[in-house]
Amino acid sequence: MSKHNIRLKDIAEELGISIPSVSRALNNKADIGEETKRRVFELAEKLHYQRNQFAINFKNQQSFIIGVIIPQIVHHFFSNVISGIIDEAENLGYGVMLYQSNESYESELKGVETFQKSMIDGLIISLSDNTFKVDHLKNLQEHNVPVVLVDKVNPDMDSAKIICDDYKGAYYATEHLISIGKKKIAHITGSLEPHTTRERCKGFESALRHYNLPLVPNLIKKCNLVSREEGYLTTLALLAEPEIPDAIFCATDPTAIGAIKAIKEKGLRIPDDIAVIGFSDWKMSSIVDPPLSSVSQPDFEMGRKAVELVVKEIQLTRENKPVKHETHVMETSLVLRESTLGKSKKVPLN
Amino acid sequence: MSKHNIRLKDIAEELGISIPSVSRALNNKADIGEETKRRVFELAEKLHYQRNQFAINFKNQQSFIIGVIIPQIVHHFFSNVISGIIDEAENLGYGVMLYQSNESYESELKGVETFQKSMIDGLIISLSDNTFKVDHLKNLQEHNVPVVLVDKVNPDMDSAKIICDDYKGAYYATEHLISIGKKKIAHITGSLEPHTTRERCKGFESALRHYNLPLVPNLIKKCNLVSREEGYLTTLALLAEPEIPDAIFCATDPTAIGAIKAIKEKGLRIPDDIAVIGFSDWKMSSIVDPPLSSVSQPDFEMGRKAVELVVKEIQLTRENKPVKHETHVMETSLVLRESTLGKSKKVPLN
DNA sequence: ATGAAAGCGCTAACAG
DNA sequence: CTGTTAGCGCTTTCAT
């Protein structure tokens, strides 16, 4: 049990050679005799030698760990971002530490602290909705830990960023509603604090303007949590307006699902009376009745790209080369289902 | 930029004292002068000293990192297990590294390898459905890295385990169907390889037996992936039987959702003609139409408990004390919704 | 091709 | 109370 782990020293002694020689052999260095190398490998194998990464990390001051902070894992979008991150990190030889902020700034601070204790080489973070200061992240940068912001970004941060084109996604979603003949389109937006929801709102307005549709203030409703409950209540409010909309673009899928519930309860048909489209293409969106059209974000790909950027910066930083922070804007795509298309089109189960 | 990080040495030199004194001060050791301590803290503060955890980890041969391998993050159940893990790990001063196996044995091996490189102190793992050998885990144990199995366990592993009472959950689910007057109850089971599905099947049969209902072989259908698609197809097969069931207990929620789709397509009413109950209480289960009754597992709590066990074993191992591997069986609970209760009972939105 | 020596940053053991 | 010494396991000079 407590038999100490095998060290280079053990192998060296057993073979009657020096420790550096063993090291050189195991690391396939050039200047080492073939015969020696063979004997070292053989014995290492036999003793089940495992390099002590603590020593190596210590020597190189490098952990090969990337820290990841996201608001909530349970969200389908973030699960997929994380999958992309883990995948690409594996490819590049990095491990991934995870922390969730639960949309709390204080939690986010704690996460950064935990990560500093674990000596992460780089950080990928999607900011909590309640994070307005970024000193904790700048602090990391000052300690030569590159930071990459994903999706939920902050203009005060001078760092690499991965965002998706929320503006265009919203524009296309709205354009789609117009294309199926809708004229009185409502928008349920979230808190306008996060960059993402603000862009979605802008894209919506821009599409209306472009197609010469009136921008009716009463048809733009704000809710803070963009939850199902809120979507439900907000839609009920919309339906109580003197002139009700014939389509609703919701800033998130849960809101849209709430909206669907409200519309169905009122005995209205989807999409004939009111079409509904959401944003983010949650897993559950294909399961609700009717299946929800939505704007799909390249979540997995965003994760991959984030790792690519952060590792690039890690390497440049280690080589003391100047780093230029890239911002990657990724394209969204429309996933059209019955909530806007109706039964006409056969929609696959998945 | 490349100004090297502050070390104890820098502080010691600036203050004209020895390095150990600085160490003692910073660590609030007993035998250090108040005045010295004050000066050290002051300067450390001023220089933004941050302890170099690489050195400490190296010295203690300890990372304060727990590795976690699960099949798929996107699954609601696992997301919540992970949340529980991160939460409790934070409490106990540990960070969490994450890896997903995607139900692949090879992937799982890679995960263990990655983790070994990162020198995890302990591992929490939910085995992939294709993992039948556990040498990789035993290897970890031999290197004094405690392993805790969660939910997907393996009898060959001599380790701590967290499981939930699938048998009882299935029993209660079936009993509930009986209690609402159902007599011809079908069961859609998964591959009988994993311990979990096997127990669910046993619980189902046991309840039928206990209530003197016949065990009709044709009403027990197996599908391998327990996916929505499979649930749909399997249910269609069930409905093609000469005598169709009046209730279906599905081994997972996705299967149940597929079942609902099939039943609705056939023009049958839920639950009047056929009641449906699932297992795991996925987020989406409350959203489908009708909302799905299900057996809820204490996912978050399972995660917490896993951390508790693994940390306990880590500590015992470090102190060279004997460790007794505990197995924790956690209770499930029924979440009843319209798919078995009907509209009668007002079901809350959440 | 190999060995000897030094050092990464920190802490524990031992003196005084 | 404080300083000196040593060592965690490995790699990287610098000799030979």
Fold of A8-51: 434 Repressor (Amino-terminal Domain) (1.10.260)
Asked if the C-beta of A91 comes within 8 angstroms of chain B's C-beta atoms, the answer is: no
| pLDDT of the residue at B320 | 87
User: Could you count the other beta carbons within 10 Å of the beta carbon of residue A99?
Assistant: 25
Helix (H, G, I), strand (E, B) or coil at A294: strand
Short-list B199, B205, B169, B162, CA closest to B187? B205
Taking residues A197-216, report their average pLDDT: 96
Subunit contact B228:A287, Cβ cutoff 8 A: yes
Q: What confidence category does residue A193 fall into, taking pLDDT thresholds of 50, 70 and 90? A: confident
Alpha carbon distance A205, A249 (integer Å): 11
The string of pLDDT tens digits covering residues A294-308 is 999 999 999 999 999
Nucleic acid strand D within 7 Å of B20 CB: yes
Q: What confidence category does residue B3 fall into, taking pLDDT thresholds of 50, 70 and 90? A: low
Residue A2 has pLDDT above 50, yes or no: no
| pLDDT of the residue at B344 | 61
| pLDDT of the residue at B131 | 93
Q: What confidence category does residue A188 fall into, taking pLDDT thresholds of 50, 70 and 90? A: very high
Asked if the C-beta of A174 comes within 8 angstroms of chain B's C-beta atoms, the answer is: no
The string of pLDDT tens digits covering residues B128-142 is 989 999 999 999 998
| pLDDT of the residue at A226 | 85
Alpha carbons within 13 A on the beta-carbon side of A72: 10
Distance B21 CA to D1 C1' (A): 10
Alpha carbon distance B287, B350 (integer Å): 9
Alpha carbon distance B183, B317 (integer Å): 53
Long-range contacts of A3-10 (CB under 8 A, 24+ apart): A5/A50, A5/A52, A5/B143, A6/A44, A6/A47, A6/A48, A6/A49, A6/A50, A7/A52, A10/A47
Alpha carbon distance B30, B129 (integer Å): 53
Subunit contact A283:B284, Cβ cutoff 8 A: yes
The string of pLDDT tens digits covering residues A89-116 is 999 999 999 999 999 999 999 999 999 8
Q: What confidence category does residue A3 fall into, taking pLDDT thresholds of 50, 70 and 90? A: low
Residue A142 has pLDDT above 70, yes or no: yes
Cβ atoms of A70 and B70 within 8 Å: the answer is: no
Helix (H, G, I), strand (E, B) or coil at B223: coil
Asked if the C-beta of A320 comes within 8 angstroms of chain B's C-beta atoms, the answer is: yes
CATH node for B63-158+299-330 = 3.40.50.2300
The string of pLDDT tens digits covering residues A228-274 is 999 999 999 999 988 899 999 999 999 999 999 999 999 999 999 99
Using CA coordinates, name the residue in chain B closest to A115.
B95
Looking at the structure, give the CATH architecture of the domain made up of residues B166-297+333-348. Answer: 3-Layer(aba) Sandwich (3.40)
Nucleic acid strand D within 7 Å of A318 CB: no
Nearest nucleotide (C1') to alpha carbon of A21 = C2
Subunit contact A55:B55, Cβ cutoff 8 A: no
Alpha carbon distance A338, A343 (integer Å): 6
Q: What positions of strand D are covered by protein, i.e. any atom < 7 Å from a CB?
A: 1-5, 7-13
Residues from chain A that touch B82, judged by Cβ atoms under 8 A, are 73, 98
CA-atom Rg of chain B in angstroms: 27
Measured between CA atoms, how close is A61 to chain B, in angstroms? 7
Residue A1 has pLDDT above 50, yes or no: no
Nearest nucleotide (C1') to alpha carbon of A33 = C1
Please report the DSSP string for A216-254 in residue order: -GGGEEE-SS--HHHHHHHHHHHHTSSS--SEEEESSHH
B58, B90, B115 member nearest A95 (Cβ): B115
Hey, what amino acid is at B182?
A: K
Nearest nucleotide (C1') to alpha carbon of B60 = D8
- Listed by start position, the domains of chain A span 8-51, 63-158+299-330, 166-297+333-348
Alpha carbon distance B18, B9 (integer Å): 8
What is the percent of chain B where pLDDT is above 90?
Answer: 84
Residue B2 has pLDDT above 60, yes or no: no
**Under 8 Å CB-to-CB from B88, ≥6 apart: which residues?**
B303, B304, B307, B308
**Under 8 Å CB-to-CB from B81, ≥6 apart: which residues?**
B70, B126, B150, B151, B299, B300, B302, B303, B306
Q: Work out the end-to-end distance of chain A between its first and last CA atoms, rounded to an integer number of angstroms.
A: 51
The pLDDT mean for chain A works out to 93
Alpha carbon distance A255, A240 (integer Å): 17
Short-list A339, B228, A338, A285, CA closest to A347? A338
Give the pTM. 0.91
Alpha carbon distance B272, A131 (integer Å): 50
Residue A176 has pLDDT above 70, yes or no: yes
The string of pLDDT tens digits covering residues B268-319 is 999 999 999 999 998 888 889 899 999 999 999 999 999 999 999 999 999 8
Taking residues B95-114, report their average pLDDT: 96
Distance B52 CA to C11 C1' (A): 12
Cβ atoms of A231 and A223 within 8 Å: the answer is: yes
Alpha carbon distance B241, B221 (integer Å): 11
- Of all protein residues, which has its CA closest to the C1' atom of C7? A59
Nucleic acid strand D within 7 Å of A59 CB: yes
Nucleic acid strand D within 7 Å of B319 CB: no
Hey, what amino acid is at A136?
A: H
| pLDDT of the residue at A194 | 83
| pLDDT of the residue at B192 | 83
Residues from chain A that touch B283, judged by Cβ atoms under 8 A, are 74, 284
| pLDDT of the residue at A344 | 62
In degrees and rounded to multiples of 5, residue A293 shows phi and psi of: -70, 150
User: Could you count the other beta carbons within 10 Å of the beta carbon of residue A7?
Assistant: 15
Is A8-51's fold the same as A166-297+333-348's? no
What does the buried/exposed string (b/e) look like for A19-47 if buried means 16 or more CB atoms within 10 Å of the residue's CB?
eebbbbbbeeeeebeeeebebbeebbeee
A2, A287, A349 member nearest B287 (Cβ): A287
CA distances from B62 to A58, A90, B149, B170 (A): 12, 22, 21, 42
The H-assigned helical ranges of A61-104 are 76-91
| pLDDT of the residue at B348 | 47
For residue B78, the surrounding DSSP H or E stretch is helix B76-91
Asked if the C-beta of A2 comes within 8 angstroms of chain B's C-beta atoms, the answer is: yes
Of the listed ranges A81-85, A193-197, B21-25, the one predicted with least confidence: A193-197
Residue A324 burial by CB count (10 A; 0-12/13-18/19+): exposed, middle or buried?
exposed
